[in-house]
Chain A
């Protein structure tokens, strides 16, 4: 099972992940990233992988 990891020191809330996998990622009112499902469903994995690669702050990772 793949698990989403967020480096909170690096995240600046750019919302790029939210645009690619909105069902998994959301920037909240305080500009902080909320991960709705730390273990994304199989059909969400493509979007999450895209988000990990596209994160401008390189704050995301997917651990096995």
Chain B
């Protein structure tokens, strides 16, 4: 059975579904989508116990939100559904640790907005217009290197290591001012931080220590760069961070470090996932790929559809600050909600034929960059640009790219990542 053969949601016993079971996240995509179809249709606010974590008391559990309308209702009421108690972990972890790994993702306004404004300008369309040439340059370099490497051997390459990972890594490291020799460290630390406990990327026996060490390595790098930028300011983001003031005070060393980690990790993993999973989706839909390749005017809608279809970030958490009701569902103060973007992005109420890749889809009001609300993806404009340039240049420089085998999927509930995707260049243009 191909991993994409549709799976009938009716075959699942709703009582047996457990989104906290790590093995669920190792299931083929079609199985996961079918389970989410079942939840969305029959139990749109499904309650689950929290996954167990070594050395931590189990928390009270969470509601899994799978309908787009519910997700957006929660996302757009940040005063009722806050992020400050942790947006990127299901368990309540100590506030300082949560802020260290989540930075402003795990903050609420007004502090969130004040911190976000420090870098907001850099990520606006107007500013990104000025870096578009360097994005094209980086993409062309990476593709030329991938092509040379494949042609020097038997034509084979790994889409993740040779194309999808280096493009966003170089772009975000250029923007942050991370020198060449430190970029491997950034890649490895970023992989560990978002490993989701995948045994290949972290120490399974002690994931917390691996996470802390990766964070420390990034904080150390930031400390080094920050010291240099105070001496010699440049126009990179690191300089902006060390010189910025919030409410008349400079950010602390730890605030700068966590901001730095957020920008690097978020800038890497999400776009990498969209490129790798996007290429996989195109190879599974050759007629769509051919249509896009022949028509650059489809770039805009195609990029949106890839973000919807792939949903690189699977969920974010919100926590109720008061008792209340949302779309008919009652909740208590302290209740946790996981917003499943992957499920909302396949909601038949919001998208016609939601499991089909339709690169010309319009309208396409997906939540791949988050729902309405203050935490809407800071890097959305950058990601769109990176993706449009990457796919267009791929069609031109590597039109003969062919996926040759099954991907190695990251076993993570949080990021829909691929670890490897075997491919080859056939040489036939």
Point out residues on A near B: beta carbons under 8 Å. Answer: 9-16, 18-19, 22, 26-32, 56-58
Contacts and interface: CB of A to CB of B under 8 A. Distances in A.
A57 B121 CA distance: 16
Contacts of A12: 109, 112-113, 116-117, 120, 374, 376
A13 B126 contact: no
A57 B373 CA distance: 4
B262 to A, nearest CB: 15
Contacts, number: 67
Contact of B126 (A10, A22, A56): A22
Nearest to B122: A31
B117 A57 contact: no
Contacts of A28: 121
Contact of A31 (B120, B369, B372): B120
Contact of B376 (A18, A22, A30, A57): A57
B298 interface: no
Ranked nearest first, the 4 interchain pairs of A and B with the lowest CB-CB distance are A31-B117, A56-B376, A13-B120, A31-B120
A31 B121 contact: yes
Interface in B62-108: 76
A18 B76 contact: no
Interface of B: 76, 109-110, 112-113, 116-121, 123-126, 369-370, 372-374, 376, 378, 380-381
Given A26-B126, A27-B124, A31-B120, A15 B381 contact: yes
A13 B121 contact: yes
Given A26-B126, A28-B121, A57-B373, 19 more contacts: A9-B110, A13-B113, A13-B116, A13-B121, A13-B124, A15-B124, A16-B380, A18-B125, A18-B126, A19-B124, A27-B120, A27-B121, A31-B120, A31-B121, A56-B369, A56-B373, A57-B374, A58-B372, A58-B373
Contacts of A27: 120-121, 124, 126
A19 B123 CA distance: 11
| Residue among B120, B376, B378, B380 with max Cβ neighbours from chain A (10 Å) | B120
A14 B35 CA distance: 34
| Residue among B112, B121, B373 with max Cβ neighbours from chain A (10 Å) | B121
A47 to B, nearest CB: 13
A64 B32 CA distance: 48
B140 to A, nearest CB: 25
A51 B374 CA distance: 15
Nearest to A28: B121
A19 to B, nearest CB: 4
Nearest to B114: A31
B123 A15 contact: yes
B119 A31 contact: yes
Contacts of B376: 12, 14, 16, 56-57
A15 B125 contact: yes
Nearest to A32: B117
Nearest to A29: B121
Given A14-B378, A19-B381, A57-B376, A30 B117 contact: yes
Contacts of B372: 56-58
Contacts of A11: 113
A15 B120 CA distance: 8
A27 B116 CA distance: 12
Nearest to B119: A31
Contacts of B124: 13, 15, 18-19, 26-27
A16 to B, nearest CB: 8
B76 A58 contact: yes
A31 B109 CA distance: 15
Contacts of A19: 124-125, 381
| Residue among A11, A13, A19, A26 with max Cβ neighbours from chain B (10 Å) | A13
A17 B368 CA distance: 18
B333 to A, nearest CB: 23
Nearest to B112: A12
Contacts of A56: 369-370, 372-373, 376
